[in-house]
């Protein structure tokens, strides 16, 4: 994955990732290699250590959200999904202007 792809996935500007990617690489969690098809681009991948850390869910925000959502009735989740979809649609329309 390239830095640009990471930025698009996270919905952030690529320049805001520079420091974070550098710190992840320094911590040996991320590997940066030249793209064999275009040597000007860097391809990013997780190291073995990064993969282990990425696989951990205990204590993460995701695990807390997952536990909370399991306690919410399905009808409430469907209503929340409709509201969030309306917000996403409105934001997309505003961004397209």
Same domain, 47 and 72: no
pLDDT tens digits for 49-82? 999 988 776 777 888 898 999 999 999 999 999 9
One domain, residues 24 and 42: yes
Q: What pLDDT, on the 0 to 100 scale, is given for residue 69? A: 94
Q: Domain of residue 75: give its range.
A: 57-97
What number of residues does the chain have?
Answer: 97
Residues 40 and 79 in one domain: no
Residue 57, pLDDT score? 66
pLDDT given for residue 63 in this prediction = 82
- Indicate if 8 and 45 belong to the same structural domain: yes
Strongest mean pLDDT among 8-12, 18-22, 51-55, 76-80? 76-80
In this structure, are 40 and 51 located in the same domain?
A: yes
Q: Which string of DSSP letters, residue by residue, matches the chain?
A: -BHHHHHHHHTS-GGGGHHHHHHHHHTTSEEEEE-SS-TTSEEEEE-HHHHHHHH--TTSHHHHHHHHHHTS-HHHHHHHHHHHHHHHHHHHHHHH-
């Amino acid at each position: 994955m390239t830095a640009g792809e990471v930025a698009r996935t996270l919905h952030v500007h690529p320049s805001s990732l520079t420091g974070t990617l550098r710190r992840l690489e320094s911590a040996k969690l991320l590997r940066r290699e030249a793209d064999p098809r275009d040597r000007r681009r860097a391809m990013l991948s997780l190291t073995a250590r990064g993969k282990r850390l990425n696989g951990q869910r205990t204590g993460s925000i995701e695990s807390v959200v997952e536990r909370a959502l399991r306690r919410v009735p399905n009808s409430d989740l469907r209503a929340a999904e409709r509201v969030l979809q309306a917000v996403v649609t409105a934001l997309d329309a505003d961004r397209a202007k």
